[in-house]
Amino acid sequence: MASEKSKILVIGGTGHIGKLIIEASVKAGHSTLALVREASLSDPNKGKTVQNFKDFGVTLLHGDLNDHESLVKAIKQADVVISTVGSMQILDQTKIISAIKEAGNVKRFLPSEFGMDVDKSSAVEPAKSAFGRKLQTRRDIEAEGIPYTYLVTNYFAGYYLPTLVQLEPGLTSPPRDKVKIFGDGNVKAVINKEEDIAAYTIKAVDDPRTLNKTLYINPPNNTLSMNEIVTLVSGSLQRSSVDKPRGVCERRSDQFHYRAFIRF
């Protein structure tokens, strides 16, 4: 007999990746809960998202990171907690950690990561500070003895590919004649579709192999260089080489070593 699926609470679910994780959780047959702030209900865009959650059959729990009692109450109703809070709220996850510790029932916590492995990366500012916040969250989780899974998802296809990785403010489509290539354009990075990231996230929650581990989402066919990306989309574009963009970081692992760029 198959084991019962965990009840999943998503905190920060009205954001881009949070919405997809909630949808993936529901599709996978998990009882899904979403912590929703009162302010989200009055926001036109987020209010529509919350209504969609209701239509999916998601249980809405009213609460806030700054309301410890509401956090504990929500967490007590779940087996697994997934945080998808934004980059400016990473350190606020200490409040989630504290509430999980008090609730005492959580089988696993997946903090908001959705990027590179910060334990195996080095960077200059502003990426250095962002990595530092995620590192601190990891150490806080481990210090409290909370079961965890860290997700290393690398880069969002929906963010980088539409512009061919041109980090220009306001740009939403690829350039028509000339494209900027960082360095020689041959260094590779992993780019994943957000819907796939959400699906793998949900698959991880009940998998004993991912407990207290770092899960890398690195499909071989998703590992591409800038030159390969440009060639796949339009090989006729003129290419110009530029220096590294701000926030350059470097990641090493046993399998590969690459340089990549981050925009915050």
Interior/surface letters 183-198, b for 16+ CB within 10 angstroms, e for the rest: eebeebbbbbebebbb
> What angle, 0 to 180 degrees and rounded to 10, lies between the N-to-C axes of helices 44-56 and 16-27?
10
106 and 133 Cβ atoms separated by less than 8 Å: no
Residue 223 β-bridge partners: 190
What contacts 200, CB < 8 A, 6 or more positions away? 151, 153, 215, 217
Interior/surface letters 146-157, b for 16+ CB within 10 angstroms, e for the rest: bebbbbbbbbbb
Spatial distance between the Cα atoms of 175 and 110, rounded to a whole number of angstroms: 37
What contacts 233, CB < 8 A, 6 or more positions away? 164, 174
Which one of 128, 134, 180, 244 is the catalytic residue? Answer: 134
70 and 99 Cβ atoms separated by less than 8 Å: no
134 flagged as catalytic: yes
Spatial distance between the Cα atoms of 262 and 10, rounded to a whole number of angstroms: 25
194 and 115 Cβ atoms separated by less than 8 Å: no
Active site residues: 134
